[in-house]
Structure formats: C-alpha cells, structure tokens
Chain A
Amino acid sequence: MGLLLTTLFLPLIGAAGVMFIGKHHTKAIERFSLILSIATFIVSVILFLQFDSSNPGFQFVMDIPWIASIDAGFRIGADGMTMLLIVLTTFIMPIAILSSFDTIHKRQKEYYIMVLLLQFGMTGVFLALDTFLFYVFWELILIPMYFIIGIWGGKDKIYAALKFFLYTLVGSLLMLVAIVYLGLAYAAVHDGMFTMDLLKLREFAPTLDFETQRWLFLAFALSFCIKVPVFPLHTWLPDAHVQAPTPGSVILAGVLLKMGTYGLIRFNMEMFPQAMFHYADMLALLAVIGIIYGALVAMVQTDIKKLVAYSSVSHLGFVVLGIASMTVEGIQGAIIQMVNHGLSTGMLFLCVGMMYERRHTREISEYGGITKVMPKFAVLFTIAMLASVGLPGLNGFVGEYLTLFGSFQSKFLSTTWYSILSASGVIFAAVYLLWMFQRVMFGTNDNPHNQHLKDLSKREYAMLIPMVIFIVWIGVYPKTFMQFSENSTKALVGKLEILKFGTSAYQISK
C-alpha cells in the first residue's frame, strides 16, 4: 500500500523539490528530475511484482475520507489493466525527461515542475477509484500539458495549446455533469446517500434503465473519445503533436491518449453495459474510419512528425475496435495495444526528435540517404518503424492481431466487415511508414546539410535501448504482460455476456 502511494506521490514531491532548486542550476534540476522518475519506475516495478494477477478485482485498495458531504474520498487501487498502464507511465517518463536534456533550453525549472506534475496527474487518473478524484486528476493534467505545449512548443504553439485545452475541457465538463447525475441516481435508490465511490457505482450503474445509461454513456464517451482521439474528434491531436516539444509528444502519445481508452473500458463498458451493447457498432464504425482515415492522411504528409501523429489516430483505432468487440481477445488486445502504441510511437517521436535536433527541420524532402551518415541510428529507427507497422516478432503485431481476431469473432458486433476493413489499415501502415523511411533514410545523401550528421550519442542510446528491449519482449513473449489483465478481462466479458445472452464461457467459478 505504501508502494502505491509512493508511486503516486513521488513525482509530486519531486515537483515541490524542484521548486527549491535555484533556477540557474539547470544541471541539478535535470538530474534531480531524472533520478526521481527512475526511482518512481523502480518502485512501480516492485509494486508490479507484488501484484497478484490471479485476482480479477482491485488490489492495494485504500479509502481515506476527503469531502464528507459529497462522499468523495481519496480512494485508489489497481487492477491488471491499471497496473500495466502505471508501469508504462513510470517507464516512459524517465525517457521523456532524458530526452528533455537535449531539447529544452529555456526555463528548465518550470518545465521539470510541469513534467513531474503531469506524471502525478496521469498516475492519479489510472489509480482513482472515486469519480470525483478521477475528475480532479483528469483536469489536473490539462494545466501542465497546456504549458508544456504553450511555452516550449513550436511555431504555432499558442493555437495548438488552446485547441488542446478547449477540446479536452468541452468533453470533460459534460463528463462532470454525468458524474454528478450518476451520484444522484445512486442516492435516489439508497436513501439519499450520495456517493462518488467508484466501487459502489460500478455495482449500481449497470442496473440503471437503458435511457439513463444511454445519456450517461454518451457524456462519458464524448470526453474519452476526444482524448483517444476517435474520428471525427481527432483534429486537436496533429496540432498538439506537431507543436509540442519532443518529450511532450512522447508523453502525449505514450500515456496521455491511453487515458481515453482506459476510460472507455473502466467507465463506459463496465458501468453502462446496456448502452455499450447499443453503441458497440457505432464505436466500431468510428474506429474503422479512424484506422483507414488516419492511415490515408498519414500517407500524404510531408512532415515526419505529422505523419507519426496521424499514424497514432490509425493505431488507436485498433484499440477502440478491440474495446467495441467486447471479447476477451479484443479487450486483451486493446490493453496490450495501448502499451505497444506507447512504446513504438513514443520511440518514433524520439527518433524524429533526434533528427530534428540535428537538422532543425522535419520535412521529408530535406532528408535522404541518412543511413550512410548515421548507421546506428538507422538500425534503431528501423526497429521502431517496423514495430509500428506490426511486423510479427515485434510488439505491434500482437496487439493488432488480437484486436482484429477479437472483433472478427465478436458476438456483439453485427458484421465482420469491421475487421476485414481494419486489416487494410495494417497494409496502409506498412505503406506510409516504409515509404517515409525509404525517402528519409535511403537513397543518395545529396543534401549538403546532411553530409556530416553525428550518429547517436550515449544519452540517445540510453533512451532508445530500453524501449527496444520491451518492444521485442512483448513481441516474442507477450504473456509476461498480458497475464496481468487476463483474469479481470475474463470476469468483465463474463459479466457482459451473461447480461446479453444469459450464458458465458467465462462464468466466474467461485
């Protein structure tokens, strides 16, 4: 229990600590933040090892009273899905911080405070077992991310930061209304006992009538779909990605977007199953559109970072498709795909950032034949690119295969066309990524600016190698990670199938 609290609060303590370091000691600030984030990672790994994956319920649960009159408490806990996302967060953050050393050259003190606050908020979102606490963390993330894009971003940073802020806020305020409504609906049948306790609401919400579930589902789904982002709510993402500094993009792609898909499972699917059955097809359809649309738009980009940003829209489509399928394979695939996307897209953004630091441009046409001058970089970039394409043996394949498999055999979706069409997304991914890679890395190096680029530094190795390890690990032996969420997923699907069909292969044997 102490470990869970440490994982959550260490970044906050770090942010407070940075405040006391003089702002001219940038080296000290950088090192302090890095050490702190690595320490958080170590703590979370120990926690990960202590987690009992055979138990489908929440573990390490704590419940401390906070605001008595609305029954909001400091309630946190983790199940398998949460655990994977927490470790993903604590793993990505040190790498993002390390990459900041090269990319952030002004106002370092404020920057590291914001990054650590961001980590605190993201961990909190995944851990919260109280709708009020969840909302507070959800909104808390807006402030640091807004500043990270707005202060340290590129040319159109103000536009991108504001767009990010407003889009997210529109969704989340409606979610707030839904949260309040849910609490009041609970109070109506429990002698006026208003509550924000997610564990109680999880039991209660599925018993609501369809109409109510439907409106609540839509309010929550809007907020989460903006965050994922699901087509057609995705337009903030390319702007935010392109304008954000490299570490900002890594965090955004690596962790922030997963809050949306996490919410879809944790809230929409678990709490409003009737509405979920009703809207599954719609969700799947939007996912398929996202997969194909994202891929097609990525194909015509001339800016590498924008290309990777649109590929995110496409890849997250698979996650949403897996969720909509409501099968064990689909959901498990979605969960592992969340982790995969964090790793492979995060790594792609890092590679793009490394090229940008050397050449200060992201235009594909400015590059060509980079392999000749940066052979070591080329190897690692290839791995990231192939992981993103979904080559068997690397992580991307596992997630995409499972989500497609799950949606193909789903009893909740009306047609198998979703999977058939989505499969084309895998081919498109190969097209746009390989084509980009070819134009950037191969060919003749005839641009005089590209003749003397330095190959990877030690620090850059330190960022990329850990990612490669996990990319290969998940690709070859995904069970290490997937077993964590297996039981909770089976329990969830069992519940859903019983609700819809009366029987289930995953009935919980007690």
Chain B
Amino acid sequence: MHIDVILAAPIVFVSLMATASMVLDALKTKENGKTIFLFSIYVLMATFVLSALTFSPNSHFGLVALLSKLGLASAPETLPSGEMLTVFNGMVSVGGYGCFFDMIFTLGGIMTILAARPFLESEKLEHSEFYTLILFAVAGMMLISHATNMLTLFIGIEVMSVTFYILSGYTRTNEKSVESSLKYFLLGAFATGFLVYGIALIYGATGSMDYATIASATHGDIRFPTLLLIGIGLMIVGLSFKTALFPFHQWAPDVYSGAPTVVTAFMSTAGKAAALAAFMPIIQVSLPAAIAYDGSNKIQMMLAVISALTMLIGNISALVQKDVKRMLAFSSVAHAGYLLMGLVAANPEGRSGIMFYSASYLFMQIGSFIILSVLERSGQTNHSLESFNGLSKKYPILAALMSIFMFSLAGIPPFAGFFGKYYLFTAAIHANFTWLTIVAVVSSVISVYFYIGLIVNMYFKESQEQEHESQPGLAAISLVLSTAGIIILGLLPSAVLSIAQASFGNH
C-alpha cells in the first residue's frame, strides 16, 4: 500500500466510508436509518482508533509499524524527526496535532449520533442522510486540522460548512430551523469570500499557499508587506466568523438556537474546535518568530482585543437570556473568547491549552445540549428558564448531570472546565497578557451568575410535579461519556495534556 495513504489513514478512511454510506443507502431499502446509524458509529469508532494509531508516525506502536510487521507496507526510510511530516505532496500533515483534533471530532460525532437517534426517531425524521452528513462533517474537520496548505484548509472548511448549513435546516418543517439554516448559509458564504480573498492576497505576497513557505517568507524580507498584512487580516476575519468571535458572532445565537438541538451540540463543539484547529497554524505562520513573544505585536494585540470583547459580549448577552438554549449559545461565543487567549499567548502553553480546552469544552457543551434534547423528547419543548424549575425533583439524574456541566462551564474545580481555563490563564500571563487574564476572570465571574442561575432554577425553586422516569435511550451513553470525560480531564489532566504537548513534535 502506498505509504501516504497509510499515514493519512484516518482522513482517507472516513472520507471513503462517508461516500460508501451513500452507496449503502441506495442498495438497501428497508430500515435504512438503523443500518446507516450502526455503520456510521462503527466508522467513527474505527477512525478514532486509526487516529490514535497514526498519532506518532515514528513510533513502534503506530499504524505503519503494525502494517510493516504484517508485510503489508514498508516503513518510510527516513522520517525526519522533529519536523512536520507531510504527505500527498505537502498538502496534508500527519499525526500529532491533526490526530489529536481527529479524536475530538470523532468523539463529538459519536456522542452526537448516539443522542440524535432517539431524537430523530421520535420526530419521525430518521433519514439515513443525517448520519452521512455527520460523517462528511467529520471528514471536513479532519481535513482542516491536518491542513498544511491553504487549499486543503479551504476544502476542509467548505466541506464542514456545507454540511452544517444542511444540518441546521434538517427539521425542514420547523420555521426556526429553516431560518437558521438560511441565515447561516448567507453569512457563511459571505465569510468564505473573505477567506478566499485573504488566501489570494497571501499568495500574491509570498508566492505560495504552503504554510511552511509562507512562514519562511514572513520571517525574512517580505516584498509586499502591506498585501500580506491585509491578506492575514482578511483570513482572520473569515476564521473569526467560523469561530463566532466578536464582532462576527451575531449569527451564532440565532443559528444555534434555531437548529435541532443535537445539531447545535455538534456544531458548537466540534465545529468550534475545527475552526480553532484552522486558526492556530495560521497565527503561528503569520506571527514572525522574532516578535512572537512581544506583546506589542499588532496581530497579537488585535487578537487580544477580539478575545477580550468576545468573552465580555458573549457572557453579558448570555446573562440576560430567558431561554436556556440561547443562553448556552451565547456562552459558547464566550468560550471561543477564552480559547482565543491561547492563540494570543502564542506560546506552547497556549497551544496545548487550546487543545485541552477544546476537549473539555466538547464534553461539557455537548453534554448540556444533549440534556436539552432529552428534555425536549420528554415533552418539555420550550427551554425557558422557568421550565427548569424543580427539575431536580422531576428528573434527579438529569438535573445532577446538568449541574456538573454547568459547574464545569463556569470553571469550578475539580471539573475539566476549570483546569482548561487555568492552563489558558497561565499561557496568557506567561506571554505578558495579564490584563487579558483579568478580563477573562471578570467575565468568568459574570458567567457564573447564569450558569449557577440555572442550578438555582433546577434545585432551589420548587415545582409541583412528581418524579418522572426520563427516557434518554442511547443519549444516556453520550451523557455517561461526557460526564466521565469532564471528571477524568478535571482530576487527571496530565494524560491529555501530555498528549497535546507531544503533538507539537510534528507541527
């Protein structure tokens, strides 16, 4: 087998299988939903394993070594150590960084699909396309995190975005869902324009779309420095839209609250992680190494301001929401602000901080949205804060899990959210951005008010209703996964953190 295919196995596999799922759908006529559901779960699990196996391509435990033992492939002769290993003519990176995010995306996909099945069944909407779209979205995201060339990046972003446009309008008889889809599509297309324009200008200034070449160009003499700066600025605008950063965050609350809850769960977590996975190398490339640690750097300063405003605006807007789904949507904007702190810091702690926080954020945010969707199915269709009154009596387990998610989102130890925030704070202080950390602290305090406010409604306010049995179905597995993830990442962050740090050997 060709070594490039083996090294890029996770992406290749998931893309092929996503296509295969459509073929399978055409071949089978009965019970398509169930078949494709099982198929996509297995595919994502296999992808997760493949990502883990290709994480360190040089190691003896990797996929390459495994296959060469079986005589199916020969190990590449000289793998440059410490440098980024790329395949397919330098278009796609291998292992490390990309694979870390692959695991986040696949886990997100698995949890979403598990939670989506009971929802789709009860809505009588179980078309096999839903699962196929999730597979494609994951494929797109993986392409983003593995990209070493702006073209690859662009294709990845488009694949992901297009599936998101469709998924957010999935309940097509629901006006809100359709509206959110259209809004997302129009604004998303506009943002893509910025992205492409930025790529074009960067190409004009440096003569390349390859990250490494651009990086070396920015370090040396640049022929058209203004052009490059504008190009980078436009790219940041485009990516800020995808990440929902201030002032390009306006779409997020509408889209997130309009889309089906399970889709929101996926978009606001894995989608955000993907956007950051794209952001990180771009910033690394565009921040010339000489001034990377200098707080007066223009790009760094601009990002710091964006980060501060995103946190504040996100949290303050969430504060006044009466609807829990909308509140979580705004809080997801705020979390993008925290994540951006890692980019601002532009140091190793910042990068591994982003990776760690993306993982913790995945668990806590997906978990809370899944609880909303379980409640939806139990007949609690509106998500107003009042409807959560006395939830601890009605559904004690759901309320307890929701509290864990809220405490984690608020950043209270010993949950994962706390350690993630802590690590990002460290990164920012280390990079002399103490003021940004203080803004983050202030906005964290603001956020506590509404996260804890939800707990007030669930536990301290009484309602007349009796205890019910909740029917989470398969969503229970997702909830167990996310709770376990939050507690394990919170108590023993070392394991994930060291993986995150190790992944920079290749990038």
Contact = CB atoms under 8 A, between A and B. Distances in A.
A162 B445 CA distance: 12
Interface of A: 66-70, 132, 135-136, 139-140, 142-143, 146-147, 150-151, 157-158, 161-162, 165-166, 169-170, 173-174, 176-177, 180-181, 183-184, 194
Contacts of A166: 445, 448-449
Contact of B445 (A132, A170, A181): A170
Secondary structure type dominating chain A contacts: helix
A142 to B, nearest CB: 7
A96 B438 CA distance: 38
Interface stretch (B11-19, B75-83, B412-420): B412-420
A204 B497 CA distance: 27
CB-CB nearest 8 A-B residue pairs: A136-B413, A173-B441, A150-B460, A139-B413, A180-B426, A67-B494, A158-B460, A180-B429
Contact of B438 (A68, A157, A177): A177
A301 B426 CA distance: 46
Contacts, number: 78
B208 interface: no
Interface string B240-273: 0000000000000000000000000000000000
A161 B429 CA distance: 32
B428 to A, nearest CB: 9
Contacts of B422: 132, 176, 180
B445 A169 contact: yes
Contacts of A66: 494
B407 A67 contact: no
Interface residues of B, number: 32
B418 A139 contact: yes
Nearest to B429: A180
Contact of B456 (A67, A140, A158, A170): A158
A70 B414 contact: no
B216 interface: no
30 contacts: A67-B493, A67-B497, A68-B494, A69-B494, A69-B501, A70-B423, A136-B414, A139-B418, A143-B407, A150-B460, A151-B460, A158-B460, A161-B460, A162-B453, A162-B456, A166-B448, A169-B445, A169-B448, A173-B445, A174-B441, A176-B422, A176-B425, A176-B441, A177-B441, A180-B422, A180-B425, A180-B429, A180-B437, A184-B426, A194-B426
Secondary structure type dominating chain B contacts: helix
B459 A147 contact: yes
A167 to B, nearest CB: 10
Nearest to B460: A150
Interface of B: 407, 412-414, 418-419, 422-423, 425-426, 429-430, 434, 437-438, 441, 444-445, 448-449, 452-453, 456, 459-461, 492-494, 497-498, 501
A66 B492 CA distance: 7
Nearest to B490: A136
B414 A181 contact: no
B426 A157 contact: no
Contacts of A181: 429, 434
Contacts of B412: 139, 142-143
Contacts of B501: 69
Which residue, B423, B449, B452, B497, has most C-beta atoms of chain A within 10 A? B452
Nearest to B449: A166
Nearest to B411: A173
B452 A162 contact: yes
A302 to B, nearest CB: 26
Which residue, B444, B494, B501, has most C-beta atoms of chain A within 10 A? B494
Contacts of B452: 146, 162, 165
Nearest to A65: B494
B425 to A, nearest CB: 6
A221 B91 CA distance: 54
A135 B413 contact: yes
A289 B324 CA distance: 44
Contact of A184 (B414, B430, B493): B430
